[in-house]
Structure 1
Amino acid sequence: MTAQGIYINVSRRNDDLPEMIEDYSEKFNLSKADTVAEILRAYPKLIAYKHRVLEQESRSFGRLFSNAV
């Protein structure tokens, strides 16, 4: 059985990514592959959280100015 692999080709405009992955790997104490996997798994949760926060802020902002006019 052969090992499966995914390779990331980084363009010049994203040349900071290898260093960022290395930094997060050290911070999380994970391999580079596990670090990328953690980030990808956390991304949908981050986006959902961002939408909830924006909704909450928008509702608060609406209440703040509901008596205006």
Structure 2
Amino acid sequence: MRAQGIYLNVSSRNDDLPQLIEEYSEQFNLSKANTIAEILRAFPKPLAYNHRVLEQENRPFGRLFSNAV
């Protein structure tokens, strides 16, 4: 049985990512793989929040104010 692996290839435009991963890894006291997993698991929460904010910003004013004519 082979071990499964995921490899992260970082382009030159994102050359700061390995250092960021290292810093978060030390801060969370996790391995690099577990640090990436924690970040990915947390990602949907801010994404959903941003979606709700954008929906509210795009509503017509009549719906925001119930007494609007």
| TM-score greater than 0.5 by the shorter chain | yes
1:2 and 2:16 matched: no
Size of the aligned set, in residue pairs, is 65
1:58-69 equivalences under 5 Å are 58=57, 62=61
Provide the TM-score with structure 1 as the length reference: 0.73
Q: 1:25 matched to which residue of 2?
A: 25
Cα displacement (A) at 1:3: 1.1
TM-score by length of 2: 0.73
CA drift at 1:51: 2.4
CA distance in 1, matches of 2:49, 2:32: 25
In angstroms, what is the RMSD of aligned CA positions?
2.5
State the partner residue of 1:12. Answer: 12
